[in-house]
Amino acid sequence: MTGGPAGAGTTWLITGARLAGGEQEDLLISDGVIAEAGRRVSRAGAEVIDAGGLIALPGLVDLHSHLREPGREDAETVATGTAAAALGGFTAVHAMANTEPVADTAGVVEQVWRLGRQAGHCDVYPVGAVTQGLAGAKLAELGAMADSAARVRVFSDDGHCVWDALLMRRALEYVKAFDGVIAQHAQEPGLTAGAQLNEGEMSGKLGLAGWPAVAEEAVIARDCLLAAHVGSRLHICHVSTAGSVEIIRWAKSKGWRVTAEVTPHHLLLTDELAASYDPVYKVNPPLRTAADVAALRAALADGTIDCVATDHAPHAVEYKETEWAVAAFGMTGFETALRVVQEAMVETGLLDWAGVVDRMSARPARIGHLAGHGQPLRAGAPACLTLYDPSVRAEVDASASPSKSRNTPFAGMVLPGRVVATFLRGTPSVLEGKLA
């Protein structure tokens, strides 16, 4: 890179990047869009980034994260969370509604949306609560959130399941008016009271209350049938079992409008890690078995599962430095998501880079109705993109993160890849692997 001040308003020339892992091309970025794409592009006065050996991907889109603001700014803020997201290659993230106060009104979703604009690291799309206070009793004002400045299209009580069948039916029906989608956290509460770990060999041996796969699968099956009945859109959050995959595959074969996501941690980690009783491995839904991991990978590869979503869930250290049973559920995930997907999907030959683009950018953008994200890198497209070096391997260093929390299960693991740069509408949020 040549010297001189650079930032908003600068024209950038990215040379020699392999677009989505395919052909080498140059990208000229100007006025927030990709002005030119092709061989031997040149422009006098442009800042040049030599991207030889790097892959250029459309900016990643996350359908599922927790930014904790308002209310738990000790664990994360919109600014710190989105800084971590940018370092992970994301240009758009959805922020779940379980803040304090809950994002169940136009006021709260507009606050979160505005905090995202102010921080400027990536676009923040608030997810609206389905029910008031996430209590599962009365619908929140979904229409008001949809009409707000935040233009909410994804609604979820994530962390809680909308378990009442009639309420779920009403929610699915109601959001058809503005082409919204209900993102369900599938967890049958009666089957998971006090549950701690996937019910199986490990939960039995460790004496941790079992969390059966059927508690997830039964709700998914019911909701697929409800979505079909009312002709609405259903999105399944963090699918974690082989049985869930089978049900979603069946629902899709019927032509029903069901989409699904999987987290990076469910693609790589298993419940055997709980043997240490270290709550860094405690997450909802729980880590499952190697057979589940294999089924999830296969489903992401064949498109049954549409996308990868991080479920980035930061927690202050005292919520994890405890006994397993009292610890909080959740793991951070922005900065490791693409690296984990490379390890679990690309290195194994299950996905090529075009497939990664589809599952981590194009499809999540489509599910969330994000017009300015997830588009192919060609002339005229918004300049939301990530430069990624797939050739390096390094240990995950949790201490380096701008996130306020350190609860990553990948700390100390050696993973491939490094995000070199991220651009949000032509402005770099990350350069040379550091916040710009």
Active-site residues: which are they? 311
CA distance 299 to 305: 5
291 binds another protein (CB under 8 A): no
Q: How many Cβ atoms from other residues are within 10 Å of residue 12's Cβ?
A: 24
Of the candidates 423, 338, 433, 420, which has an alpha carbon nearest to the alpha carbon of residue 381?
Answer: 423
Task: Establish if 391 lies at the interface with another protein (CB under 8 A).
Answer: no
Contact 332, 405 (CB under 8 A): yes
322 is a contact residue toward another protein (CB under 8 A): yes
Report the C-alpha gap between 28 and 34 in whole angstroms.
6
Q: Which tokens hold the place of 400? A: 């380096």
Binding of another protein at residue 42 (CB under 8 A)? no
- 432 burial level (CB within 10 Å; 0-12, 13-18, 19+): exposed
Answer for the pair 212, 236: CB distance below 8 angstroms, yes or no. Answer: no
In the three-class reduction of DSSP (H, G, I as helix; E, B as strand; rest coil), residue 145 is classed as helix
Using rule CB under 8 A, residue 137 touches another protein: no
Cβ–Cβ < 8 Å for 182, 175: yes
List 164, 318, 397, 432, residue binding another protein (CB under 8 A): 318
Q: Can residue 290 be called a binding residue for another protein (CB under 8 A)?
A: no
Q: Residue 195 burial by CB count (10 A; 0-12/13-18/19+): exposed, middle or buried?
A: buried
Smallest distance from another protein to CB 398, Å: 17
Q: C-beta of 325: minimal distance to another protein in Å? A: 4
Site for another protein in 250-289 (CB under 8 A): 276-278
Q: How far is the CB of 208 from another protein (least distance, A)?
A: 5
Choosing from 5, 190, 255, 323, the residue that interacts with another protein (CB under 8 A) is 323
Cβ atoms < 10 Å from Cβ of 199: 22
Q: Is 206 in the site for another protein (CB under 8 A)?
A: yes
> In this complex, which beta carbon is closest to another protein, that of residue 275 or of residue 294?
275
Q: Does residue 324 bind another protein (CB under 8 A)?
A: yes
Binding flag, residue 216, another protein (CB under 8 A): no
- 210 interacts with another protein by CB under 8 A: yes
Among 135, 291, 325, 392, binds another protein (CB under 8 A): 325
| Contact yes or no for 312/332 (Cβ under 8 A) | yes
Listed ranges 164-172, 200-208, 367-375, 403-411: which one lies at the site for another protein (CB under 8 A): 200-208
Determine if 209 is a binding residue for another protein (CB under 8 A). yes
Determine, following the binding rule CB under 8 A, whether residue 100 of this chain makes contact with another protein. Answer: no
Other Cβ atoms less than 10 A from the Cβ of 386: the count is 27
Quick check: 205 binds another protein (CB under 8 A)?
yes
Instruction: Choose the stretch contacting another protein; rule: CB under 8 A; options: 56-64, 201-209, 239-247, 339-347.
Output: 201-209
Nearer to another protein, 118 or 322 (CB): 322
Q: Which is nearer to another protein, 74 or 347 (CB)?
A: 74
Q: Is 204 in the site for another protein (CB under 8 A)?
A: yes
Q: How far is the CB of 212 from another protein (least distance, A)?
A: 8
The amino acid at 366: R
**What sign has the CA pseudo-torsion 339, 343, 344, 350?**
positive
Alpha carbons 378 and 57: distance in angstroms, whole number: 11
Residues in the chain: 436
Cα–Cα nearest to 155, from 351, 367, 319: 367
**Contacting residues toward another protein, per CB under 8 A:** 196, 199-201, 203-210, 276-278, 318-319, 321-326, 328
